[in-house]
Amino acid sequence: DVQMTQSPSSLPASVGDRVTITCQASHDITNYLNWYQQKPGKAPKLLIYAASNLETGVPSRFSGSGSGTDFTFTISSLQPEDIATYFCQQYDNLPLTFGGGTRVEIK
Amino acid sequence: EVQLLGSGGDLVQPGGSLRLSCAASGFTFSSYAMGWVRQAPGKGLEWVSTISGTGRSTYYADAVKGRFTISRDNSKNTLYLQMNSLRAEDTAVYYCAKHLGPWTLQPFDNWGQGTLVTVSS
- Cβ atoms of B96 and B6 within 8 Å: the answer is yes
Q: Which of A36, A49, A96 sits opposite B100 (nearest CB)?
A: A49
* B28 contact partners, CB below 8 Å, separation of at least 6: none
Give the pLDDT band of residue A25 (cuts 50, 70, 90): very high
CA B81 – CA B72 distance, rounded (Å): 9
Give the pLDDT band of residue B57 (cuts 50, 70, 90): very high
Q: B47–A87: do the CB atoms touch at under 8 Å?
A: no
Predicted confidence at residue B102, as pLDDT, reads: 85
Helix (H) or strand (E) holding A88: strand A84-90
B111 touches chain A (CB under 8 A): yes
Mean pLDDT of A40-50: 97
User: Is the pLDDT reported for residue B121 higher than 90?
Assistant: yes
A94 touches chain B (CB under 8 A): yes
* B57 contact partners, CB below 8 Å, separation of at least 6: B51, B104
Asked whether the CA dihedral B74, B75, B78, B84 is positive or negative, the reply is: negative
Predicted confidence at residue A26, as pLDDT, reads: 98
* B60 contact partners, CB below 8 Å, separation of at least 6: B48, B49, B68, B70
Give the pLDDT band of residue B82 (cuts 50, 70, 90): very high
Q: A34–B45: do the CB atoms touch at under 8 Å?
A: no
User: Is the pLDDT reported for residue B114 higher than 90?
Assistant: yes
Q: B111–A44: do the CB atoms touch at under 8 Å?
A: yes
What's chain A's average pLDDT?
Answer: 97
Predicted confidence at residue B93, as pLDDT, reads: 98
Q: Which of B50, B95, B107 sits opposite A34 (nearest CB)?
A: B107
Q: A55–B45: do the CB atoms touch at under 8 Å?
A: no
Helix (H) or strand (E) holding A87: strand A84-90
B66 touches chain A (CB under 8 A): no
> Residue B36: is it exposed, middle or buried by C-beta count within 10 angstroms (0-12/13-18/19+)?
buried
Give the pLDDT band of residue B104 (cuts 50, 70, 90): confident
Lowest mean pLDDT segment, chosen from A30-44, A88-102, B10-24, B97-111 = B97-111
A44 touches chain B (CB under 8 A): yes
Q: Which of A43, A55, A95 sits opposite B47 (nearest CB)?
A: A95
Give the pLDDT band of residue B110 (cuts 50, 70, 90): very high
- Cβ atoms of A34 and A92 within 8 Å: the answer is no
DSSP-assigned states of every residue in A13-79: E-TT--EEEEEEESS--TT-EEEEEE-TTS--EEEEETTTEEPTT--TTEEEEEETTEEEEEESS--
Predicted confidence at residue A41, as pLDDT, reads: 94
Question: Of the candidates B79, B5, B78, B65, which has an alpha carbon nearest to the alpha carbon of residue B35?
Answer: B79
- Cβ atoms of A36 and A96 within 8 Å: the answer is no
Mean pLDDT of A85-95: 97
Which of A3, A71, A91, A98 best tests the B interface by mutation, with the highest count of B CBs <10 A?
Answer: A91
A103 touches chain B (CB under 8 A): no
Residue range B46-55, pLDDT digits in tens: 999 999 999 9
Q: Which of A38, A91, A95 sits opposite B107 (nearest CB)?
A: A91
